[in-house]
Structure 1
Amino acid sequence: MMFGPALFPMGWFILKGLWGEYTKRPPLWITYEPEQFPEVTYYDHICGVKYPEIFGGCEDIKVYGDYAIVSCDPYKKQSNFLTGYRPDTPSGNVYIWNYVKDTAPTPIDFGPDFGELRPQGVRGLYLPDENDQPSTDVVRIFVANAAKNASVEVFDFTPATGTVEKVISLRHKDAVLDPAALAPISPTQVFLTNTLGYPYRSVLGPLEFVSAIPLGTIGYLDFTNATNVTGKAVGASTTPIGMEYVDDTLYVASVQYGIYAYKLYIPPDDLTEEEIAANKSLGRMHFYPGEKFYRTPYLPTHITYSTELDSIVVAGINSYSGEVKAWFGRKSPSWAALLVNQTGPDDKPLVVSDSVTLGLREADRKFQTLFWDSTGDKFSGLKSMVVENGRRFGVSPHQAGVLVCNTNGLETVEVPDTPASGGEQAETPAQARERQRKSDHLEHMYLAKEEL
């Protein structure tokens, strides 16, 4: 009984901590909808869906030069929604698509004896040339395979010849469990998210999704050849689906909470044994203490880095109920936004003046809407979007095809005519693009904090 009074402050601090974590969740949780939000899709007049007969059940997309890498599993929905059990179905595919020439996408050949392929996140990086100089000759592609025998598959793609060469299959009992997304930081080093902290999906998946228990992990792999693969789990997270690496910063998207940004220390390759011995921490990659956190207006899934916009793009789920409806074949809203982490005059944080962020606290308004379809009639359940080369590419496991929005006057997407109303003259595609370009300028979208 002597410990009884001590339990009250202990319980108070535990509840306070749990509430603090809970309130980091997106404000809608299940029901939030922004007020006075446009009922039409952003860029509706210049968007189209490409190759729905080929792309089915697609989870992620990334663009390198003239090529898009797309991971698809059209049989994903045949798995049990609650337990994750999946009957024997054909494997998915990872496609390479020259969107500039608009040639038919071609699947990567994983080999006749590969086994089950359930592709999730795809990422790549350009390999340096023989003199270790920057080059765009070869793209090293990393694929998260969330099969029972989970793995990270690595390929080299040469755009000039169109050839794909297998490099290695990476498996590790601690680092590769239920891989969803990837972030390569060098040709032989890659971070990944594991949605759950154990192999394959099970009934605990929905439990984690609803309860926000941190069952997921962040994994790390380092390899030089097939017999020299090291890996470890470097952190825990709640349903970590998205991941991206930019300028020594690792971004991790937790569906329940938002986007975490971790600063990394990566030791130089030319450290001597004496330097490592003098300071053992120099020889190990590690996270800097603390992290930045970006609270999202919706539930974030995949995140991508746009070299064109020099920022992170996030796509997401607008509600749990919408995701459940999409899983059972009904249309679900789509959302994608740009993360803005900039300062304005006098180094004051910029606050996004965008109606999608109205549900956030003022300090958290750091997202500019790139795409919104409130009904899912145009493109249902968007899960990943990347912005490159004047286009916006999006995919969804709930709708066939790749969404392509032409934002720079390029002619890959057919532009439907805008009907005239009354005596007004119809807006031409060029005029529509110019109008949208002006509305996208940052100076029109942001205000200094004190000016709101």
Structure 2
Amino acid sequence: MMFGPAAIPMLWFIAKMLWGEYHKRPPLWVSYAPDALPEVSFLPNVCGIHRPETFQNCEDIRVFGDYAVVSCDPYRRQSNLLTGYKPGTPSGSVYVWNWVEDSEPVRLDVGGATDFRPQGVRVWPLGEPGQKIDTVDYSVFVDTVRLFIANNSKNGSVEVLDYTFSTGASEHVASLRHKDGTIDPAHVLPVSSSEVFLTNTLGYPGGVLGRLELLSATPLATIGYLNFTDMTNITAKNVGAVTTPTGIDYANGKMYVASALYGVHAYELYVPPATLTAEEIAANSSLGRMRFLPGEKFHRMPYLPTTLSYSRELGGLVTTAMTGYVAEAKALFGKPQAPSWAGLLVESDNLVVADSVTAALKTDERKWQTLFYDADGASFSGLSSLVVENGKRFGVGRYQDGVMICNSNGIEEVELPPAPPAAKTKKAVEIDGMFLTKDEL
């Protein structure tokens, strides 16, 4: 009976579900390599690797003026593939480095943590009191900043430090732990000097649960929120579930979360006004904390996203990605070289990015402009984070020593590749230096 006419609606429902799932995941089996544009590749006259003796197995990099904050951890290379943990693995480090003067990087003291596994890092300028993420001005250099560091140790935490560039002095402010927020921190997004969102990835890619989640597409990982206004009383909540969230950032009123299985999710994010009085906060508790609203948009990726960073210079979201499951597996098993790719998200309903890497996506999904590509990791292996500031690209890799600095942002010199024959007439348009194509409707 189960194979009779009554089964047809059920089979149709299953087929529709699988087809919809196919059109959400990266099309890895039909992905294309970007066209060979030298401006987005590693060339000795464009890119260079700096301080390889210090920056080894690095997870994240953020640039603030003449300084870069870099998190590095040997855990990725030395941990056990099955358990995600190897006793005796040295703790990781976070450095502040004046990349303009190329002075000796300063290794930060994180309050005596014996098991320190830094992944995502963020810089928060300590300027006007009570400022929120939608009002902070990163173009103005502030001597003292607050650093938020995702500590992916067995006792996961968000480490908070205040650092003064002129003196090199750092002060450990807090170790944020809470059963409802810090499950397995991977990346952080501060939205004020005392509020931070974080991704909890269940140990992916080194943990068993994280890999099971990735294979099963079950959203077990979470987005946490922590508030430590008085520095001692930590409040927290779980604000959402995302499958393997590997990156998080904020731009233009939205919070973006990268899922290694699907792509980039965009969420509305309510930021309370900084002018609220204590009485107003007490009268309406929802105004005294961040409010995480349901997602409204999804951006499909050509590859597996690993981090997110908002480029103020390009006015868009930059993401790095692994180019396939096989490459990821080889890297986890210790292959010294892994492919690298980074792209810029161009959000517009009428624009199609002229980039061959997006050819496997549907027309309305082609929003990714390649910023960097190394097909076999021969020049730079396993790019794990890329930021674009000051007309340059700054990158680090889990399987690569040193910080890569490219004397180009990867956009201004990219030429439009020949357009394939199409029924509709296409014309080239230039928006903020990015050469894209637009269908005439």
* Shorter-chain TM-score range: 0.7 to 0.9
- Tell whether the 8 Å contact from 2:34 to 2:357 is kept in structure 1 after alignment: no
- Tell whether the 8 Å contact from 2:52 to 2:401 is kept in structure 1 after alignment: yes
- Tell whether the 8 Å contact from 1:350 to 1:446 is kept in structure 2 after alignment: yes
- In structure 1, the partner of 2:420 is none
Q: Deviations over 1:213-233 (max 9, x none)?
A: 212110000012342110111
- In structure 1, the partner of 2:402 is 401
Alpha carbons of structure 1 residues 200 and 240: separation in structure 2 relative to 1, 3 Å: closer
Task: Write the mapping of 1:314-353 to structure 2, written as runs, cut at 5 A.
Answer: 314-327=319-332, 328-342=334-348, 349-353=350-354
Q: Structure 1 residue 32 and structure 2 residue 30: aligned?
A: yes
Q: Structure 1 residue 71 and structure 2 residue 61: aligned?
A: no
Q: Deviations over 1:343-375 (max 9, x none)?
A: xxxxx6111011111111110111111101112
Aligned partners of 2:377 and 2:437: how far apart in 1? 30
Q: Structure 1 residue 84 and structure 2 residue 89: aligned?
A: no
- In structure 2, the partner of 1:189 is 195
Alpha carbons of structure 1 residues 39 and 320: separation in structure 2 relative to 1, 3 Å: farther
Gaps of 5+ in 2: 417-429
Task: Write the mapping of 1:235-254 to structure 2, written as runs, cut at 5 A.
Answer: 235-254=240-259
Q: Secondary structure at the match of 2:440?
A: helix
Between the aligned residues of both structures, percent identity stands at 53
Task: State the one-letter code of the partner of 1:159.
Answer: F
Aligned partners of 1:391 and 1:162: how far apart in 2? 25
Q: Structure 1 residue 165 and structure 2 residue 155: aligned?
A: no
- Tell whether the 8 Å contact from 1:82 to 1:205 is kept in structure 2 after alignment: no
Q: Structure 1 residue 176 and structure 2 residue 176: aligned?
A: no
Aligned partners of 2:286 and 2:48: how far apart in 1? 50
Q: Deviations over 1:32-85 (max 9, x none)?
A: 341673286625231111111111110111101111011001242111223212
Cα RMSD after superposing both structures: 3.0
Aligned partners of 2:100 and 2:305: how far apart in 1? 29
TM-score (norm 2): 0.85
Task: State the one-letter code of the partner of 1:38.
Answer: A
- In structure 1, the partner of 2:56 is 56
- In structure 1, the partner of 2:104 is 104
Higher helix share goes to which structure? 1
Question: Which piece of structure 1 moves more, 172-181 or 289-298?
Answer: 289-298
Alpha carbons of structure 1 residues 76 and 20: separation in structure 2 relative to 1, 3 Å: same
- In structure 2, the partner of 1:118 is 117
- Tell whether the 8 Å contact from 1:46 to 1:406 is kept in structure 2 after alignment: yes
- Tell whether the 8 Å contact from 1:184 to 1:245 is kept in structure 2 after alignment: no
**Cα distance, 1:102 vs structure 2:** 0.7
- In structure 2, the partner of 1:450 is 440
Q: Deviations over 1:382-403 (max 9, x none)?
A: 1110011121011111111111
Aligned partners of 1:90 and 1:389: how far apart in 2? 34
Question: Which piece of structure 1 moves more, 384-393 or 15-24?
Answer: 15-24
- In structure 1, the partner of 2:359 is 358
Aligned partners of 2:130 and 2:291: how far apart in 1? 28
Aligned partners of 1:158 and 1:399: how far apart in 2? 29
Aligned partners of 2:346 and 2:362: how far apart in 1? 15
- Tell whether the 8 Å contact from 2:189 to 2:196 is kept in structure 1 after alignment: yes
- In structure 1, the partner of 2:214 is 209
Aligned partners of 2:121 and 2:9: how far apart in 1? 47
Aligned partners of 2:49 and 2:204: how far apart in 1? 34
Q: Secondary structure at the match of 2:127?
A: coil
Q: Secondary structure at the match of 1:368?
A: strand
Q: Deviations over 1:1-42 (max 9, x none)?
A: 9xx9999857865764465244301111xx334167328662
- Tell whether the 8 Å contact from 2:412 to 2:434 is kept in structure 1 after alignment: no
- In structure 2, the partner of 1:379 is 380
Q: Secondary structure at the match of 1:77?
A: helix
Q: Secondary structure at the match of 1:20?
A: helix
Alpha carbons of structure 1 residues 396 and 200: separation in structure 2 relative to 1, 3 Å: closer
Aligned partners of 1:163 and 1:39: how far apart in 2? 43
Gaps of 5+ in 1: 343-347, 409-432
Task: State the one-letter code of the partner of 1:259.
Answer: V
- In structure 2, the partner of 1:425 is none
TM-score (norm 1): 0.84
- Tell whether the 8 Å contact from 1:177 to 1:199 is kept in structure 2 after alignment: no
Aligned partners of 1:436 and 1:237: how far apart in 2? 34
Aligned partners of 1:379 and 1:26: how far apart in 2? 23
- In structure 2, the partner of 1:155 is 161
Aligned partners of 1:9 and 1:209: how far apart in 2? 29
Q: Secondary structure at the match of 2:437?
A: strand
Alpha carbons of structure 1 residues 355 and 267: separation in structure 2 relative to 1, 3 Å: same
- Tell whether the 8 Å contact from 2:306 to 2:384 is kept in structure 1 after alignment: yes
- Tell whether the 8 Å contact from 1:147 to 1:200 is kept in structure 2 after alignment: no
Task: State the one-letter code of the partner of 2:113.
Answer: F
Aligned partners of 1:398 and 1:282: how far apart in 2? 43
- In structure 1, the partner of 2:415 is 439
Task: State the one-letter code of the partner of 1:127.
Answer: L
The list of structure 1 runs, each at least 4 consecutive aligned residues, that deviate by more than 3 angstroms after superposition, is: 4-19, 129-135, 198-202, 269-284, 438-444
- Tell whether the 8 Å contact from 2:266 to 2:295 is kept in structure 1 after alignment: no
- Tell whether the 8 Å contact from 1:83 to 1:205 is kept in structure 2 after alignment: no
Aligned partners of 2:295 and 2:400: how far apart in 1? 38
Q: Secondary structure at the match of 2:236?
A: strand
Alpha carbons of structure 1 residues 162 and 272: separation in structure 2 relative to 1, 3 Å: closer
Aligned partners of 1:176 and 1:199: how far apart in 2? 15
Question: Which piece of structure 1 moves more, 363-372 or 77-86?
Answer: 77-86
**Cα distance, 1:286 vs structure 2:** 2.1
Task: State the one-letter code of the partner of 2:405.
Answer: V
The count of corresponding residues between Structure 1 and Structure 2 is 415
- Tell whether the 8 Å contact from 2:195 to 2:229 is kept in structure 1 after alignment: no
**Cα distance, 1:302 vs structure 2:** 0.6
Q: Secondary structure at the match of 1:445?
A: strand
Question: Which piece of structure 1 moves more, 156-165 or 355-364?
Answer: 156-165
